[in-house]
Structure 1
């Protein structure tokens, strides 16, 4: 099992509280089985905590306390979906993943840790018009313009898309503006979490969903 580095223990405790043992068990499972199951690369095992687990846990600071339902699109190994389910047990979390072997992994983790999230094998587009959520998250899925097409239709009116991004976040927002406007994505902004706690802070692009008013319709305040 990959041991939590001592220097990261205070941050992990802040982010997970009394559910830190669950995060440690998940990290251990990922370290033990992730490479052989094609979930992580061989170089990632020794840096699971900072590069992946805590990187994802920091994004939880972007989730509004009023959020009740959340979908993580393209969950893969469970980053960030499983981490969110550990850190925010009061949320109803749905993990959306297309690949059967990854869904099987997510189901196994769910059973092992007793996290009670939902796993849906589907492309995000297949859920358009059927499901909406207070918040939708995604990590390393696609550029924001493409990601918005897949995810914003899943965001309930007044909800938010929270996309984990890197140094190109500002450029992605600029390129995605036409798509965001068409789909009701408003007020895109960049947040960073973990300054002074980790070497590379977590960057999140937050986009609020506001369904465009129909022609002739006035939107109340």
Structure 2
């Protein structure tokens, strides 16, 4: 995926806003602020490089500081994809709205609610990073993904044991894309989620 000048500019604005807001609301670990580009932006751009929809809707759940939701929305800003960022923390939701305004992301909206309280989103794609263990995420995916939709779940080094645990109560298909930024981590591309082992 070639990153355009507009994308680079938007990502620069986003990084500046993280640095500005982070001391107040802890969007990313303070120890990683100096290396936002590699540790967070490059990490999340991996999701944008995977095959998502050319059009339709994308939900990022537990958005926090917008990782990966904002990064993916910036990368796909020229595509007719609408994004919903679900974030329960009011201060983080305010941060996300500021980023959306400052970067001119017209097709991105913030839903300031707990994911458990959100009616079915019927999203073509769902993304999340460090939100919950895979078995718990499955109920969110079953409710909020379209039948043909897929989820991109950013998982750490324990992802294989999470898959084994989730398989005890859920049926699903998945492809593990090895992380380019964190050895042993993976982005799980999940589809066909249905309850029952």
TM-score, with length taken from structure 1: 0.79
Q: Specify every segment of 5 or more residues in structure 2 that has no aligned partner in the other structure, as ranges.
A: none
| Secondary structure at the counterpart of residue 36 of structure 2 | helix
Runs of 4+ in 1 over 6 A off after TM superposition: none
CA distance in 1, matches of 2:103, 2:22: 16
Q: Is the 8 A contact 2:85 2:111 kept in 1?
A: yes
CA RMSD, 1 decimal = 2.0
Q: 1:172–1:15: structure 2 CA closer, same or farther, 3 Å change rule?
A: farther
CA distance in 1, matches of 2:114, 2:85: 11
Q: 1:63–1:202: structure 2 CA closer, same or farther, 3 Å change rule?
A: farther
Alignment of 1:114-129 (within 5 A): 114-116=104-106, 117-128=108-119
| CA-to-aligned-CA distance 1:114-172 (integer Å, 9 cap, x gap) | 112010011222224x4210011110001100111223310000101210001111111
Shift of 1:63: 3.5
Counterpart for residue 142 of structure 2: 152
**Is 1:51 aligned with 2:31?**
no
CA distance in 2, matches of 1:179, 1:42: 37
Q: Is the 8 A contact 1:135 1:155 kept in 2?
A: yes
CA distance in 2, matches of 1:189, 1:199: 17
Q: Is the 8 A contact 1:15 1:58 kept in 2?
A: no
Counterpart for residue 9 of structure 1: none
CA distance in 2, matches of 1:67, 1:147: 24
Counterpart for residue 40 of structure 1: 28
Shift of 1:37: 2.0
Counterpart for residue 7 of structure 1: none
Q: How many residues align?
A: 191
Shift of 1:207: 1.1
Shift of 1:203: 1.7
TM-score, with length taken from structure 2: 0.88
